[in-house]
Structure 1
Amino acid sequence: MGESKRKKEEKAKNKFIFERENYKFMVIGLAVIALGFILMAGGGSDDPNVYNPEIFSWRRIRLAPTLVLIGFAIEVYAILLKPKSSK
């Protein structure tokens, strides 16, 4: 009886908060967020007296922020995802 209790305690100590599937979705979410920020970068000008309309491109105004929000939604899903079965 004492041995099985000790094994359960050891197993509980080595258990992670999330399962492998949660971590997969977290990495995917982080990659989507990073892609959104990469797409948002650029479009500026070295000379402050020169106007560059590329800063207001569709990619920077619509696509990149949408990807960042989708990435955050994936992160929330990854955190709230319940494990399939407990052994």
Structure 2
Amino acid sequence: MKQPNDTPENPRMPLTRRNYVLLAAGFGIILLGFVLMAGGGSDSPDEFNYAMFSWRRITLAPILVIGGFAVEAYAILKRWK
């Protein structure tokens, strides 16, 4: 009878250096998106600050965050030769 082999078919590491660089870049993009989303509040509750509805906070920052998550998914799934 043939014994089951406990070692994987391909002993290479599942992620390479390129994958880790892309993971770091994706994390940086996500972090930048959250930093751009921060702020815009008012010091006084009686005063309304329209700066919280700026294009940077409403449009640019969420696009960066979603793009960063897409880079993260690509970095994890990409198999380099």
TM-score, normalised via structure 1 length: 0.78
**Alpha-carbon shift at residue 61 of structure 1 (Å):** 0.1
Gaps in structure 1 of 5+ consecutive residues: 1-7
Letter in 1 for 2:22: F
Give the CA RMSD over aligned residues: 1.7
Q: Which has the higher helix share?
A: 1
Aligned residues: 73
Tell me which of 45, 50, 54 is aligned to 1:53. 50
Q: Show the 5 A alignment for 1:1-87.
A: 12=11, 16-84=13-81
TM-score, normalised via structure 2 length: 0.83
- Percent identity over the alignment is 53
Structure 1 runs (4+) greater than 4 angstroms displaced: none
Gaps in structure 2 of 5+ consecutive residues: 1-6
